[in-house]
Structures are given as C-alpha cells and as structure tokens.
Amino acid sequence: MDNYSDDWDNEQADDEFYEHFRFTADKGQSLLRVDKFLVDRLPAGATRNRVQLAAEAGCILVNNVAVKSNYRVKPLDVVSVVMTRPRREMEIIPENIPLNIVYEDTELLVVNKPAGLVVHPGHGNYTGTLVNALAYYLKDDPSYDPSDPRLGLVHRIDKETSGLLVIAKTPETKAHLGMQFFNKTSKRAYQALVWGIIREDEGRIEGHIGRDPRDRLQMKVFPEGDQGKPAVTHYKTLERLGYVTLTECRLETGRTHQIRVHMKYVGHPLFNDERYGGNEILRGSNIAKYKQFVQNCFSVCPRQALHAKTLGFVHPATKQEMFFDAPCPPDMEQLINKWRTYSNTKES
C-alpha cells in the first residue's frame, strides 16, 4: 500500500486536503466490488459512502482507468483512490467578513483573497478566517455543509499571500476539482518580486521539500531527495529592476511554502519574506539613501511579495475550461512601481 497523505500546520499544501492510496490485488483475489474492496483496506473513517462519492467523481482508478463503484476487482488489479480527508471536530463560527468574489455559480465560487487573511482556522486563528467568512456567506445554501471544518476548500495559499482560490459548494465538486489539482491539470501562476537579478529568462527548480529539522516553522529543500516530497517550480523572468526581479512562477506541484522555499534555495528569496530572510537588504549598496529606499519599500508592502495571479481548471459540471486573472493588489503594484522608478533612475 502507498499512502501519500501528510500532516501540516495552518499554512498547508494543496495535497493536505486529500488522502491518496494505492493497492494491488492479490493473485488469488476473488471478484469483489471496488467500493467494498477499498472499505476493507482503507483506514478507519473511510465509509462506503465516501468511497462511492470518490468513484462518482472519477477519483477511483483501476489500472489507471476511472471506474464506478460497482466495478469488480480482479487478481493483480492496481486500485488507486483520492478522497477528501475525514472531518476533524472543530466548531466553525460564521462571520460576516467581506469576500472579493470574482465568479460564482451553483457548483463553486472563485475568490480573490487579500493578504493577511488566514484561509483555515487552527493554531491560534480560530476566527477571522476565509472559512469563517464562507460559513456566513453560504449559510443559506442547502448544498454547503457548514459542519465540515474543511468546507469547500480545494487548495490554499499562505496568510500573507494574496490571490485566487476556488471553493467547492458540494462534495462532488470538491472531489472533481481535487482530482484536477492532484493530477496537475489545474493551471496556476503567481507573480513574485525576488531579491537579486535572475539572468535566465526562464528556468525550472526541482528539489524535495520537507520540514526543516532545525526550525519546524520553516520548510527546506532536500536536494538529494531522501527527505521531503518532490516539488517542481517553473519560473519566467518578467522584469529586472535594479536589485530585484519580477518573476512569474508556475507550480507543477503544490507543497507548503513551495515558491518561497524554492526561490530561496536558488539564491533569490522573496522580497520582504520574513520567514525566509527576505526582509533584510540582500542586494545593493550600503549607501544610506539606498537603505532608506528599501525600508520604504518594506513599509509599502509589509509582507512577502507574492500574489496568486491566475487560476484555471475544468468546470466539474459543464466540463468547460475556466480561467481567471487577478491583477496584483495595490501594495505589490506600488512596490513594483517604486523599483521601476529606482531602476530607471539608476540606469540614467
């Protein structure tokens, strides 16, 4: 059996919302419905109803082909399943927190999260989160279950990262979207302002990401792959601005703090990323005027300069491709413009 599930803290990766299992049937396996086959092998909490929902969403594969719950497992069949994690007991308090909704229909909604808003309650943030806001906003929607602490979350972004998130209103929609994220068919691009001039126009960063054993609040790249989980980030240089670079980052995987960790790993921490050292003056001169300029930049954008700008996926019900784009928020725009002005002055 392969179990690809994880336990993380409040700022978690996309795969945190799902459990991934794979089983190979014995040579002597008698014909048996796949839902019964899985219930007999999955951990406690995997009810037949949960397994059947996964099958309806196309999340049960036998020999890499999606099957329905009445499929009969044969000897040596390879059965894999992706399911939402079981609920954890946690009271979700509905709160009237404004939401920037960029799209909504009966199946899902897409929100543009501001920096500073925690996505999910936990670890000292039990109120004032996006989930609390959703519980209030969807309190009259009969298909949305406010008793589930994970509600319709399919993925998340860090507290101080701004940008787009898709929210599912039904378990079936959540399973469909979750499978797209798991299979890496969803499309996500971030804009990040990083320290240093990136010489390459584009590149690929690969390195397993896991908890830093010296600091459990940080993630770390393990280049040999003996620890952590595989992670790949693709980047493209958009603008070189003095001592910083505006980049576009596309995720091939969704690990905790992935862009922040990978960019630090290649020597380009995100601008003003306190957790990964980007809140210090890492490039440039020691001239007092320049130091003051950078401090002013830190004040303009008092968080890591990272924004989830684009999001694309196939709608679970209509099967149409959907694509959303959220311009950088004012703090990042002002920060980028300050560096543009500085760069033009420096070069003239």
The catalytic residue positions are 158
- For residue 253, give both structure tokens: 């995987």
- For residue 185, give both structure tokens: 């068919």
Burial class for 70, CB neighbours closer than 10 Å (0-12, 13-18, 19+): exposed
Strand order in 60-62's β-sheet? 2-3, 18-24, 78-84, 60-62, 65-66
Sequence-distant (≥ 6) Cβ neighbours of residue 305 within 8 angstroms: 192, 193, 194, 270, 271, 272, 273, 332, 335
Closest CA to 152 of 195, 205, 99: 99
Closest CA to 236 of 301, 180, 191, 170: 191
Backbone angles phi, psi at 340, to 5 degrees: -60, -45
Distances (CA, A) of 204 to 181, 200, 233, 237: 20, 10, 6, 12
Q: Are 35 and 98 in contact (CB under 8 A)?
A: no
Q: What is the CA radius of gyration of the chain?
A: 22
Q: What residue type is 284 in one-letter code?
A: G
User: Rounded to an integer, what distance in angstroms lies between the CA atom of residue 108 and that of residue 176?
Assistant: 11
User: Rounded to an integer, what distance in angstroms lies between the CA atom of residue 292 and that of residue 271?
Assistant: 15
Which residues share a beta bridge with 122? Answer: 125
